[in-house]
Each structure stands twice: as structure tokens, then as C-alpha cells.
Amino acid sequence: MQIDQEFLSNPIRSYLYILAILIGTFIFKRFISRFFASLIYTWVDKKNHSDLRKTHVHRLVVPIEQFLLFLVAVVALYELQFPVLWGMHLFKVSLQQAIDSIVKLFFIILLIRVFIRTLEFVAIILEEKSKLTKSLSDDQLVLFFRHFFKVILYIIGALLILRYVFNENIGNLVTSLSIVGAAVALSMRESLENIISSFIIFFDKPFSIGDLVKVNNFTGTIEKIGLRSTRIRTQDKTYITVPNKQMVDTIVDNISCRTERKIEMDLQISVITSAEALTNFVSFMRSEIEKHHPIISSSVFLSDAGKQFHTIHIECFISIATDLNIFQELRENLNLKAVAYANAHQISFSEKV
């Protein structure tokens, strides 16, 4: 058999060249795919951990192999002349046009698949790196953008299929969708405001997952920050959902960001108590507070002298790192000291409020 002999409008030599290219691609596709996967991994993880590389690089190898093999096959086959004998039509569409559309369809599907796998590949690496940090906001941020960009890629894939497979003018389609989107946006204004607020929360970071916050008279721990709402586990162990717009617009007290805990006491003393007794009481409480080393700063003073009662105001600040039990014991001890001193010096507390 002569290699210059024609078969289906092409010489056999061309088929042999294409077969050799495909065999070569099939042999080297694994090495090329691993090279690109390692290149992406190195770009994402500068430290280039070998254990993480072995665990995650294989996730990207298979889709790159499939896309590479298909790409080379398409480029090689496009060098051949379409057989004259296959010049048939089906529903006013030629067989060549149908095959061309099918090839474009598979090309777009494989391309989007590679991008999605790359996105998941990068997200998994970033998740592994975020686990090494104490902050939980990194984990939530990676998960959020992973789903967000995946939706964007699906939309791009659908538009590419409409444009190159079905030859639709996506410009008019996008214009129509923008009009419909504007109408939908007006009807879903609150939901869109919550979504925008979620971006503000992620970038501004007024609070993160695991933070103890106080919002709308509720105090609890942030358990999840979603696209529409934030989930909080309250101190009563209930599970509340707060719209993100409300979390952005209202005052949120991030208790976890406090540097110190505060002990605040108001001792309401009877108005019959003498000025000297009040001065001694204030001096006693100051001396007692100085004995407690966890207290960083304090102030004790007569804040009010009224018709109903005199008020001795006490403020103490201790480090937020101090154990809560120690904090409560210190508060209790100061109260007991105040009661013991009042009892010992016949000082009465006011019964009026």
C-alpha cells in the first residue's frame, strides 16, 4: 500500500502523521499535565510543601490530560480535507457543520472542566493553608469565592456554547438578560443588599467566625457567614439568623476584640452616712483593689451625692486573657469585701432605687 494513495480525500501519509502525533501526545500527556499542575501548585503555594503537592497535584492531572489530547486531536484533524462523499445535509445542516459544532461543544466543555478543576485545585490548597492559621475567616472566604467563581465559569461556558455551537448573537442575549436582571434586581432588592453586605463583611472583617459579638441585644458566637445571612449561637444556646445588611448597618460589639474585661460596681450608701465614713470606705476599696494583681487599672470615687442615696462608683479592668472563672471570683470578692466593711462600720446601704 502506497502512503501517497488517497483515502477519503486525503493521502494515507497525512493519516500516519496524525496517528504519530496522537501517539506521541498520548505518551507524553502525563508528563505535560503534571508539569502544568505542579506549576499552578507552585504559584499558589510559594513554600512548595512536598506532602501537599503529592496529595493534590493528581486532582488536576486527569482533566488536563483529556483536554490536551482532545486539543491536539482537533488541531491535527483540521489539517485534513473533509471527505467529499460525506457532503450530506440533515435538516438544512451539512454533516461538516454538525461535526464542527459537536467538536466545539466538547472543546468548550473540556475547557470549562479544566478551569473548574483548577479552581477547585487552588481552593483545596488554600483551604489546607488556611487551616494552619488561627483565624477561621480564611476558611469561610475560600469557600465563598470557590462557589462564586464556579457559578461564573458555568455562565461563561453556557454563553460560549450559545455563541460558537449554536451561532447565537450573545450580545442581544446579554442585553435581554440585563433588562430581565434589572427587573429581578428590583424585586429582590433586599436579597441583593444582603449579598453586597456579605462582600463588605468579608473584606472589611468587622468580625470573623468564632468571634463573640453582641448585636440587637443578642450576645453569641459567630458560627457561619453566608451570602445572605450570618448565623449566631447565642449564650442561651439558641441559633439565630441575622441578615447581613443588618450586621453591616447596625452597631456590632465584637467582644472578642476587647483587650480588657471590666468590673463595674455602684455601691448605693444611705444618705445618713457621714462624709468621713464615705471617704474611709472609698480608701478601703482602693486598697483592696491594689491587692489584686490581675487588675490592670481601676478607679474608685464618689460619683453621686443625692437625696435618696450616695453612690460609690468602682471600675476595674483586667486582661481579656484572664480566665473567666478568675474574673467572676474577683468580682465576687470585691462585693463581699464591700459588704463586710459596711457591716463592720455600721454603714447602711440604701433601700430606695
Q: pLDDT tens for residues 200-238?
A: 887 788 888 888 899 988 889 998 888 788 999 998 889
**Mean per-residue pLDDT, 152-162:** 87
SS (H, E, C) the chain: CCCCCEECCEEHHHHHHHHHHHHHHHHHHHHHHHHHHHHHHHHHCCCCCHHHHHHHCHHHHHHHHHHHHHHHHHHHHCCCCCCHHHCCEECCEEHHHHHHHHHHHHHHHHHHHHHHHHHHHHHHHHHHHHCCCCCCHHHHHHHHHHHHHHHHHHHHHHHHHHHHCCCCCHHHHHHHHHHHHHHHHHHCHHHHHHHHHHHHHHHHCCCCCCCEEEECCEEEEEEEECCCEEEEEECCCCEEEEEHHHHHHCCCEEHHHCCEEEEEEEEEECCCCCHHHHHHHHHHHHHHHHCCCCEEEEEEEEEEECCCCEEEEEEEEEECCCCHHHHHHHHHHHHHHHHHHHHHCCCCECCCC
Q: Look at residue 85 in the predicted model and tell me its pLDDT.
A: 58
Q: Is the pLDDT of residue 347 over 80?
A: yes
Q: What percent of the chain has pLDDT over 90?
A: 19
Going by pLDDT thresholds of 50, 70 and 90, the confidence category of residue 35 is confident
Going by pLDDT thresholds of 50, 70 and 90, the confidence category of residue 55 is low
Q: Is the pLDDT of residue 137 over 90?
A: no
Q: Look at residue 135 in the predicted model and tell me its pLDDT.
A: 60
Which of the listed ranges 57-66, 80-89, 170-179, 281-290 does the model predict with the highest average pLDDT? Answer: 281-290
Higher pLDDT, 278 or 25: 278
